[in-house]
Structure 1
Amino acid sequence: MATPLLGAEGLHLEFPTKVVFDSLTLGIEEGDRIGIVGRNGDGKSSLLGMLAGRIEPQAGRVTRRGGVRFGVLAQGDELDPESTVGHEIVGDRPEHEWAGDPEIRDVISGLVADIPWDARIGGLSGGQRRRVALAALLVGEWDLIALDEPTNHLDVEGIAWLADHVKRRWAKNSGGLLVITHDRWFLDEVCTETWEVHDGIVEPFEGGYAAYVLQRVERDRIAATMESKRQNLMRKELAWLRRGAPARTSKPKFRIEAANQLIADVPPVRNPIELQRLAVARLGKQVVDLEEVGVRFGEREVLREITWRIGPGERTGILGANGAGKSTLLGLVCGTVAATSGKVKRGKTVRIGMLDQQFSQLADIGGDRVREVLAETKTTFTIDGKDHTPAQLLERLGFAREHLSARVDDLSGGQKRRLQLLMLLLSEPNLIVLDEPTNDVDSDMLAAMEDLLDSWPGTLIVVSHDRYLLERVTDQQYAVLDGRLRHVPGGVDEYLALRAAHVAAHENPTSASSSSSAAETQEGLSGAELRAAQKELSALERRLEKLGTTIEKVHNEMAAHDQGDYEGLAKHTARLRELEDEVTETEERWLELSEQLG
């Protein structure tokens, strides 16, 4: 029988204008890894605050098992601005004590390796402070940990490290985790249960994000609610999880037949051929070409020898560590950064729209009411063959009608992000650049945003640490590594492997010498051998793309197949296994050649 860690009974919380929870009862047991999801403003942080004892409810009580150590990462930190990074993380402990602890060393290298140990907290950026606060929490001994948006300010590597740390931190069926995050990959990777906060209640679902989506769709279907827009959107999300991301399909602990019935009439999320045809019609064949481009700021070389031909209708995700040069690369594409070497060519018909992190599109309309902003916009937007007015589009993005009278400056971060995306789409660009678009938004908003982008016929470039979003809205990924741009057919997993190898090579002399050997290998190839290797590499990349298309086709056939025909399903499954084995072999050969070619 599971051992309880914490319980809450009859919690009532209200603010002057709103009852947040009326009579809330729930519990956390040993081994629970709980993800908390819900719309911004529905009470996720308030729930965490009550459970942690930082917010006092008007009624009810929270009890902990005796001796339970509860560590909390809130949205704001309590670090001393005059203290140093090292003191905030390990306190006054002697160096030999903490440096000899492999778990503490792992936290430090995973989160703050790039921050000077003696730096003053007051001199750090917001993102650095956040990582120091997280590291300070994780080096402690806790039976239960609550994390409020821990993935903010972490890059893809940091998020992967945190997921791995949480999974290794406690033995099976011991310890407890509560986490609020809009990072759906993290929820899927870590959580065994999902709590949805909505309408003053907390509704539990078994499993991570993929399982939650399946149950939520089925719940809405059974209840036959009026939320048809929401239901259809989540069915589309489920269709993608079942067909487009095979690795996730085994996670929900429910009948796969039920999932297939729910999505039987849902088409694939995108029709890439039709979208590309429309994109060529709007853009022509040239979008932006970068030829042997380099960028220097003073003595520092940020990017070098970048050749990238961006085609009409391409949907590309850009990966890279913080400071690798991703924003500089976007600046080259958009024309806000000048190349110091090489050439940048833009097609004559290209119209660029950029969603940045500073809400620059809203800077000149801060005093206007949202309704006035919409009234000035006559453009309509077509989704699945139907025209939508700006107001309908904003509502589809989850913008409440009562906020239409609010001034733009008075909107919350999430509401501003919705309005910013709306104005971007209505400006009718044919090349959209999204720079960290997931900031300030919840998972429902992300699903709505992805739904809109599915039917948008143009070229899309996305920089994001949210790997779920990257996999969902882009069809190919590139990485900025050591100042160069590199195609990564294996997506985020391949990028993380390359980054780990790169870091190891710079930290370990033995690895560095083996890297030198790889470079010498390339130098030792004759001209003919080099051309042959490059030709084979290109052929392998085309083969991987073709295999991906074939695998998607087989998944679609399985989804549409009669679930009672076990023999037919077994044939499909065997075919999938063959294709996936071929992908593995092709990727291994691709990596081998990549290492030879440097």
Structure 2
Amino acid sequence: MLLSAEHISLNFGLKPLLDDVTLYLSQGDKVGLIGINGTGKSSFLRVLAGQQPPDQGSVTRDPNVQVCFLPQNPPMEAGATVLEQVFAGFSPDTRALLDYEAKAMLTRLGLTDFAQPVGTLSGGQRKRVALAAVLLHPADVLILDEPTNHLDSDMVLWLEDRLRKFNGGLIMVTHDRYFLERVCNRITELSHCHIRHYEANYSKYLAIKTQQEEREQAAQRKRQSILRVEYQWIMRGAQARRTKNKDRIARYEALKAQTGPETDGAVQMATLSSRLGRKTVELHGVSKAFGDRVVLQSFSYGVGREDRVGIVGRNGAGKSTLLNLLAGKLAPDSGTIDWGETVRIGYFSQEGRELDPDQRVYDFIHSIAGEVKTREGNFSAAQMMERFLFPTQLQGQPIGKLSGGERRRLYLLSVLMEAPNILLLDEPTNDLDVTTLAILESYLETFPGAVIAVSHDRYFLDKMAREIFEVGEGGVVRRYTGNYTDYLEKRTQVAASREKAPKKPAPGRPQRPKKLKFTFKEQREFDTIEDDIAALETSIGALEAQMAACGSDYVKLQELTEEQAREKAALEEKMERWVYLTELAEKIAAQEG
């Protein structure tokens, strides 16, 4: 056993966070700790790491077990350089041995100025310095709080691979559901001051939890039915009651005293927006540079009224700059940006609003809008806060008493309360719990306006995006249709085609144009491809009918969903191939005519 936490209780002021919680961590355990923001996940990690004493209970580990902890906001010496901060606590001999590895890791994490003082770094850069320090230290146990925050997609894949190979014990809080799926072999859910353990990765946890909730709800329905029958029996007049069976009365009282299963609330987002006219936002030949570094080069784009765009690229490539230009917070160096008269932009930035820690939660939201109009009717500010998991007692609290995740959710609510018709989201998944993220994704599906999001969260981009913009070197933006998985496949295909591109002929040796023709395989494929497409479309339609008929059978629904995704991917591939073969056939016909 690497680490054991037994009968842990912890309070935050008068608010209980943990009540008699026990957790054991053995070699090879990789635990994902999940739960709604504000339930105490980060506090529990601090207790496990020995950074915060519990009110009750104990945390024990063998003296030889080395624990490394990555907090959400790591403390640093402002005057230390990046490299000095990474090596804090190392002996000179160890530092000499690990110097090359440290610099290689920092470079991988986008930090190339090793002599830069950490006091001048952004919050995201500081988190990456702390992550490098944790990964370099020899450790038997890693305790990581949101390790994927502020990493671009390539960095996340690198960290994912590294943690999968780690053979010690790992416990982490993360919102990245693909990360949970691929790294963790256990899920621990914190809810209502208690934890429940699942020997499963994320997808299996979802299946098990769904089945549990269905069983608990069925038991609750049965209990309510029995209570109704027993209530009618026990209320059949005072005269008859004297002769009633005492055991039956006792059973009734025991049933009545039982409580239903505890469930977490769910964020409910009624769609808020204002009318969007025909003209939205148009960028014409926009360029932007900071000193000698060009982050956007001659970029043109007209925002569609129902666009769903994910923006990706390395850290520092210019993704947030593009959002700031769209929002009018930055002016372009050249080119023009035009906004339609009806455009109302909601901008959810990484930095967030300046929130007064002494202001009450209710007063903050009410100052934005006392009432909002939705498709479901009008809702007051208090009602909207209830739907965002801010119950009455929490609405009266000062903002300063909220957790980091709760503040992030409050900020999201404040953006939506302004009823925007174009949403700009800069890393919206940072510090939001997985429950809120699932509801946010569902909300965006019905949002009647454009959504443009910078994100490294692959799961989020797969669900939200219908087009991916990749911001690359020199400010060049490449556009790909489809979600994030589609983008990865197409980017790989483009790279492969470049490697296979024919070499240019030697100068002075003109070559005769090659006559186009189908290969034998292409001819056979062209003859049958329309039938193949029709068969795939029929198969997808049949799968949709089966999904509609399977009701609450989650396991079957998951299998059908995965099969449908494979069929749709195959259909898209066939369609692209059909376009290529049809164009080739037309060129061959023109050549022969």
Structure 1 residue 151 and structure 2 residue 152: aligned?
Answer: no
* Letter aligned with residue 444 of structure 1: T
Structure 1 residue 492 displacement after superposition: 3.4
Look up the SS of the partner of 2:5 in the other structure. strand
Counterpart AA for 1:183? D
CA distance change for structure 1 residues 194 and 549 in 2, over 3 Å: closer, same or farther? farther
Aligned length: 504
1:382 aligns with 2:368: no
Instruction: Point out the structure with max Rg over C-alpha.
Output: 2
State the match for 1:257 in structure 2: none
Of 451-460 and 578-587, more deviation after overlay is shown by 578-587
Determine if the alignment matches structure 1 residue 488 to structure 2 residue 486.
no
SS at match of 2:451: strand
Q: How do 1:124-273 residues align onto structure 2 when only pairs under 5 Å count?
A: 124-170=121-167, 175-224=168-217
| Residues 369-420 of structure 1, C-alpha deviations (whole Å, 9 max, x = no match) | 615743873543435x555443222222211221222355665544443333
> Does residue 432 of the first structure (1) align with residue 423 of the second (2)?
yes
Other structure's SS at 1:283 match? coil
Secondary structure in 1 aligned to 2:469? strand
Output the amino acid matched with 1:86. Answer: L
465-474 or 185-194, which deviates more: 465-474
CA shift, 1:304, in A, is 0.8
1:35-184 correspondence runs (5 A) = 35-65=32-62, 67-90=64-87, 91=90, 92-93=92-93, 97-98=97-98, 107-111=105-109, 113-170=110-167, 175-184=168-177
Number of the residue aligned with 2:325: 332
Shift of 1:549: 9.4
CA contact (8 A) 1:554 1:576 kept: no
User: Are positions 1:476 and 2:474 aligned together?
Assistant: no
CA distance in 1, matches of 2:562, 2:126: 48
1:20 aligns with 2:17: yes
Contact 1:72 1:145 in 2 (8 A): yes
Q: Which runs of 5+ in 1 are unaligned?
A: 237-269, 506-510, 522-527, 530-544, 592-598
**Residue number among 445, 457, 480 corresponding to 1:454 in the alignment:** 445
- The structural deviation recorded for 1:35 is 0.4
Q: Normalising by the residue count of structure 2, what TM-score does the alignment of the two structures yield?
A: 0.72
1:434, distance to aligned residue in structure 2 (A): 1.5
CA distance in 1, matches of 2:491, 2:79: 34
Which residue among 551, 556, 580 is the counterpart of 2:544? 556
Q: Hey, what's the Cα distance between the residues in 2 that align with 1:126 and 1:396?
A: 31
Q: 1:492 to 1:403 in 2, by over 3 A?
A: same
**CA distance, structure 1, for counterparts of residue 372 and residue 139 of structure 2:** 53
- Quote the Cα distance in structure 2 between the aligned partners of 1:155 and 1:467: 10
Equivalent residues of 1:479, 1:495 under 8 A apart: no
Contact 1:359 1:416 in 2 (8 A): no
What's the CA shift string for 1:55-84, capped at 9, x where partnerless? 333443333356333222223435444433
Q: Distance in 1 between matches of 2:536 and 2:377?
A: 30
CA contact (8 A) 1:285 1:311 kept: no
Q: Distance in 2 between matches of 1:479 and 1:519?
A: 27
Distance in 2 (CA, whole Å) between partners of 1:21 and 1:184 is 24
Which residue type is aligned with residue 133 of structure 2?
Answer: A
Give the Cα–Cα distance (whole angstroms) in 2 for the partners of residues 587 and 332 of structure 1.
34
Return the letter of the residue paired with 1:468: Y
1:3-53 deviation digits (Å, cap 9, x = unpaired): x32223223334542343332222122221100011233221232223223
> Matched residues in 2 for 1:582 and 1:13: separation?
54
Q: Alpha carbon RMSD of aligned pairs, Å?
A: 4.5
- Report SS of the residue matched to 1:165: helix
2:436 matched to which residue of 1? 445
Q: Does 1:418 align with 2:409?
A: yes
Question: How far apart in 2 are the matches of 1:293 and 1:549?
Answer: 41
1:465 matched to 2:456? The reply is yes
Assess, with a 3 A threshold, how the Cα gap between structure 1 residues 492 and 387 changes in structure 2: closer, same or farther: same
CA distance in 2, matches of 1:219, 1:134: 36
Query: What amino acid is the match of 1:135?
Result: A
State the shift of 1:93 in Å: 3.9
Paired residues for 1:24-35 under 5 Å: 24-35=21-32
- Secondary structure of the residue aligned to 2:44 is helix
Name which of structure 1's ranges 220-229 and 341-350 shifts more when overlaid on structure 2: 220-229
Structure 1 pair 423–292 and aligned structure 2 pair: CA distance change class (3 A):
same
Rounded to whole Å, the distance in 2 between the matches of 1:478 and 1:551 is 31
Counterpart amino acid of residue 32 in structure 1: D
Counterpart for residue 293 of structure 1: 286
Q: Structure 1 residues 560, 65: CA separation in 2 closer, same or farther (over 3 Å shift)?
A: farther
- SS of the residue 2:297 aligns to: strand
Q: From the superposition, tell whether residues 287 and 555 of structure 1 become closer, same or farther in structure 2 (CA, over 3 Å).
A: farther
Deviation string, structure 1 residues 489-538 (Cα, Å, up to 9, x no partner): 36435666899999xx9xxxxx9xx88989989xxxxxx99xxxxxxxxx
2:386 is matched with 395
The Cα of 1:335 is off from its aligned counterpart by 2.5
Per the alignment, residue 517 of structure 2 pairs with none
Say if 1:378 and 1:24 are closer, same or farther in 2 by CA, change over 3 A. Answer: closer
| Matched residue SS, 1:380 | strand
Q: How does 1:344-383 map to 2 (within 5 A)?
A: 344-360=337-353, 367=359, 370-371=362-363, 373-374=365-366, 377-382=369-374
Q: Check whether the contact 2:143–2:170 (CA below 8 A) recurs between aligned residues.
A: yes
Shift of 1:167: 0.9
Q: Provide the rounded CA distance (Å) in 1 between the counterparts of 2:198 and 2:386.
A: 27
Maintained 8 Å contact 2:152/2:315: yes
Change (3 A) 1:55 1:231: closer
Amino acid at match of 2:27: E
C-alpha distance after superposition, 1:334-378 (max 9, x if no partner): 223223333333333322222223434x66997466157438735
* Pair 1:590–1:320, CA change in 2 (3 A): farther
CA contact (8 A) 1:68 1:143 kept: yes
Distance 1:26 1:494, change over 3 A: same
Query: Among the aligned pairs, what percent are the same residue?
Result: 34
> Quick one: distance in 2 between partners of 1:372 and 1:393?
13
